[in-house]
Amino acid sequence: MSAIAAEGIVAEAPRRGRPRDARCDAAILRATLDLLTEGGASGLSIDAVAARAGVGKATIYRRWATKEALVLEALTSDNEVIEVTDTGSLRGDLDEYYGQLLDRFQQGSGSDVLPYLIEAAVYDADVRASLDAYLANRQQPLRALLQRAQRRGEIAATVDLQVLAEVLVAPLMYRRLLTGGRIDRTLVRKLLDIVL
């Protein structure tokens, strides 16, 4: 064993092949988002993503081992977050938040993406961890407006804001994923009346 290896210093082997092209990554993620919007997860294939992005399937598989990993990274790359301005009241903030959430629910036909990922997460710990991180990130605007309301004294300091956030989102997810019931302003108004 050489003195360098004995000290724990190991020289990196030179990388082979061309370096990854960030433009390919962006094109693949954009193609994935577009296809999810157009046909949902059930209509998404690696072949279709490759064709839309103008790359080979091997290029995709070198970057993402599974379709689920690709879908989650594509969703995460969509950095259009809900931004709720301070309306001065919890009800006003929540009304604005729900308005933006309803707009997102009604865009595109990719309504099967979340159920698809939830199913995959049951069997794959990596998908579960990525989905948890994605959902926590998406819930950040709601948590921020609840924290703001708590500082204003509209929510008691003893209230667990994580549980409250889950309570506020759960009825929408229940209807979207299980019953297919209407998700509209009427539901939001009733929900706010009950919770607040």
CATH code of residue 42: 1.10.10.60
Please report whether residue 39 resides in a domain.
yes
Which tokens go with 181?
Answer: 């019931």
In the block, tokens 């997102």 appear at 104
Is the same domain home to 43 and 95?
no
Residue 46: domain span: 19-77
Condensed to tens digits (0 to 9), the pLDDT of residues 49-74 reads: 999 999 988 889 899 888 888 988 88
Is the same domain home to 98 and 187?
yes
Q: From the CB of residue 130, how many other CB atoms can be counted at a distance below 10 Å?
A: 21
Please report whether residue 45 resides in a domain.
yes
Is the same domain home to 63 and 160?
no
Condensed to tens digits (0 to 9), the pLDDT of residues 101-115 reads: 888 776 555 567 888
Please report whether residue 100 resides in a domain.
yes
In the block, tokens 């309803």 appear at 102
Is the same domain home to 97 and 154?
yes
Give the count of domains, the chain. 2
Residue, of 4 and 110, whose pLDDT is higher:
110
Predicted structure pTM score: 0.73
> What CATH number is attached to the domain comprising 171?
1.10.357.10
Please report whether residue 1 resides in a domain.
no
Confidence of residue 19 (pLDDT cuts 50, 70, 90): low
Is the same domain home to 131 and 97?
yes
Lowest mean pLDDT among 8-12, 36-40, 72-76, 142-146: 8-12
Is the same domain home to 73 and 94?
no
Is the same domain home to 104 and 54?
no
Please report whether residue 121 resides in a domain.
yes
Spatial CA neighbour of 21 closest among 55, 72, 57, 70: 55
Which tokens go with 87?
Answer: 């309306």
Please report whether residue 173 resides in a domain.
yes
Please report whether residue 8 resides in a domain.
no
Show the DSSP H helices in the chain as ranges.
3-6, 22-39, 46-53, 57-63, 67-77, 90-106, 113-123, 125-138, 140-151, 161-174, 185-195
Please report whether residue 12 resides in a domain.
no
Is the same domain home to 33 and 124?
no
Q: How far apart are CA 25 and CA 139, in angstroms?
A: 26
